[in-house]
Amino acid sequence: MSLVVLDTHEVERDALMLRARRAASGLAALGVAEGDTVALLLRNDFAFVEASQAAAMLGVYLVPLNWHGQSAEVRYVLEDCHPKVLIAHSDLLANVRDGLPAGLTLISVPAPPGAGKERIGSALEWNTWLAQHAPWDRPPPATRSTMIYTSGTTGRPKGVRRQPASAEQMAAMAAMFRHVYGTGPGIRSLVGGPLYHSSPNAFMRQALAQGEVFVMQSRFDPEATLAAMARYRITHAVMVPTMFVRMLKLPEEIKRRYDVSSLQWVTHTAAPCPVEVKQALIDWWGPVVVETYGSTEMGTATVCTSPDWLAHPGSVGRLTPGTRVAFYDEAGRAVPEGEVGEIFARVPCYADFTYHNHDAKRREIERDGLISCGDVGYMKDGFLYLCDRRADMVISGGVNIYPAEIESALVQAEQVRDCAVFGIPDDDLGEVLMAAIELAPGAVMTVDDVAAFLAPRLAKYKIPKRVSFHAALPREDSGKIFKRRLRDPYWEQAGRQI
């Protein structure tokens, strides 16, 4: 018996797949056909998995929306991708109903406890609707990948729409997933982040196909995650560094309470992991931590196992099989190995893509057949090292400063729950560093405390000149902070842009 688990609620995989086949029949009855689009506005839930599997059975592009988005943000994506159907939790649907495009068929999924019960009367009710349809029994058409919309931290989000994969690419992709996620028959897996993100979403499909247990969480809680690992004897997981930081900050007696010795492969992605955090996690869990680097557009370009990282600390690993990489300076000139440049890569097992309705934007990120996701880094001894996002680099007094290095140091402070470092305008230096800090519950910290903590860890010019403290930073569950929302007001007040 294979299980799918939401927090502590268990469903047999066969029962879930039966509901997915009913959903496929229901969508087909609504006129959804191969190549069409269906959108989801769902938290991690059984319905998310069921709808995803149904879309795959029909050869449909699935668009999972960031359910934290405001009504205008949701409407923008819906108007861009033109789905025939939107499947949403009832309370989320009610929150965005004033921004929904006309003519969209709505299906309402019961909201989780405590989230509110408001419904839109014109929406179909998920469970009642499923029961009306026989299970889908036709062979699947050409596979379409999920169409993920990029986070929009540097402008409007764009949908990454891939061509259907060839048989050769499908075989290569299966091998890639084994290389990246360690997937195989019998894995017992956990996803610690939202399924609307590309890495958890891709891992979910592999875990469902091959695993004995697939655990998803409605929200991340460090102790609850450890408890789930112990209860279900988790072997494989996908997480982000912010989660590691919060688990490591748990009291020792709580960390010792849960047996996580079953862990074999914990993949982390989405953001750089501070060296001290990675080392502490390996000391605790053993050499099971595997880092990946890539993007929704590029795919997974590198993998770094624990032994490789211990030998090359700070690296994000070696290139994945067949991947090509090159580095370019501000003028678009290729730079030699070892020098810092913008990273461009091509991962051959991924089918080619465009930005849905934005072909010109797609062409802007390609050079010599390679794709960029806007990061800056360098290669050394066959290993890739990241510096920062190109857009986040700060030039202060003519010196290039990479905020990611400062954030990695600052997040080690016990008082700091999360932080973002960015440049703000300065008449003398052009830009100076600003740190926005989300304090841990009950913590107290001053500007002088920040400088004192960073002084032995960073060069003086890397210590932020300005600091602000926040109850919560604008960020997603993945740990990605919307720096633009923090940074832009300073530049707007100065009457100029970076």
Distance CA 21, CA 138 (A): 10
The least confident of 119-128, 149-158, 214-223 is 149-158
What confidence score (pLDDT) does residue 479 get? Answer: 56
User: Which among 280, 312, 301, 305 is positioned nearest to 291, based on CA atoms?
Assistant: 305
- Position 29 pLDDT exceeds 70: yes
User: Average pLDDT of the chain?
Assistant: 89
What confidence score (pLDDT) does residue 388 get? Answer: 67
The average pLDDT across 24-31 equals 98
The average pLDDT across 473-481 equals 68
With residue 12 as reference, give the H or E element that holds it. Answer: strand 9-12
User: Which among 109, 39, 19 is positioned nearest to 79, based on CA atoms?
Assistant: 39
The least confident of 41-45, 136-140, 354-358, 428-432 is 428-432
Distance CA 156, CA 139 (A): 37
**Cβ neighbours of residue 264 under 8 Å, at least 6 residues apart?**
182, 235, 236, 288
Distances in Å between the Cα of 228 and the Cα atoms of 191, 197, 202 are: 11, 21, 21
- Quickly list DSSP for 123-167: SEEHHHHHHTSPPP-SPP-S-----PBP--TTSS--BEEEPPPPH
What confidence score (pLDDT) does residue 498 get? Answer: 47
Residue 233 DSSP class: T
The average pLDDT across 62-77 equals 88
User: Which among 101, 104, 102 is positioned nearest to 31, based on CA atoms?
Assistant: 104
Place of tokens 């059975």: 57
**pLDDT, tens only, 282-322:** 999 999 999 999 988 999 999 999 999 999 988 999 999 99
What confidence score (pLDDT) does residue 153 get? Answer: 38
**pLDDT, tens only, 379-410:** 999 999 987 676 677 877 667 787 888 888 89
The average pLDDT across 180-185 equals 92
What confidence score (pLDDT) does residue 496 get? Answer: 43
**Cβ neighbours of residue 467 under 8 Å, at least 6 residues apart?**
434, 435, 436, 437, 447, 450
In sequence order, the β-bridge partners of residue 388 are 376
User: Which among 208, 386, 212, 388 is positioned nearest to 301, based on CA atoms?
Assistant: 386
User: Which among 96, 85, 124 is positioned nearest to 108, based on CA atoms?
Assistant: 124
The least confident of 38-42, 226-230, 440-444 is 440-444
- Quickly list DSSP for 190-223: EE-S-TTSHHHHHHHHHHHHH-SEEEE-SS--HH
Q: Percentage of the chain surpassing pLDDT 90?
A: 59
Distance CA 91, CA 111 (A): 6
H helices of 71-125, where? 71-81, 90-96
In sequence order, the β-bridge partners of residue 189 are 214, 236
What confidence score (pLDDT) does residue 449 get? Answer: 95
* 8 A C-beta contact, residue 318 and residue 382: yes
- Position 146 pLDDT exceeds 80: yes
User: Which among 344, 296, 297 is positioned nearest to 323, based on CA atoms?
Assistant: 344
Between β-strands 105-109 and 124-125, what pairing exists: parallel, antiparallel or unpaired? parallel
3-state secondary structure (DSSP) of residue 370: strand
**pLDDT, tens only, 254-274:** 999 999 999 999 999 876 677
**pLDDT, tens only, 415-474:** 998 899 998 888 777 788 999 999 988 899 999 999 999 998 887 888 999 999 998 888
3-state secondary structure (DSSP) of residue 54: helix
* 8 A C-beta contact, residue 367 and residue 178: no
**Cβ neighbours of residue 452 under 8 Å, at least 6 residues apart?**
none
**pLDDT, tens only, 153-162:** 345 788 999 9
Distance CA 83, CA 1 (A): 35
For the chain, give the longest Cα–Cα distance. 70
Distance CA 92, CA 413 (A): 36
pTM of the model: 0.81
User: Which among 434, 432, 494 is positioned nearest to 470, based on CA atoms?
Assistant: 434
What confidence score (pLDDT) does residue 154 get? Answer: 43
The least confident of 71-75, 248-252, 377-381 is 71-75
Q: Percentage of the chain surpassing pLDDT 70?
A: 94
Helices 275-285 and 241-248: crossing angle in degrees, nearest 10, is 60
What confidence score (pLDDT) does residue 104 get? Answer: 94
The least confident of 191-195, 229-233, 399-403 is 399-403
The average pLDDT across 125-151 equals 91
3-state secondary structure (DSSP) of residue 272: coil
Distances in Å between the Cα of 436 and the Cα atoms of 420, 421, 433, 453 are: 5, 6, 10, 15
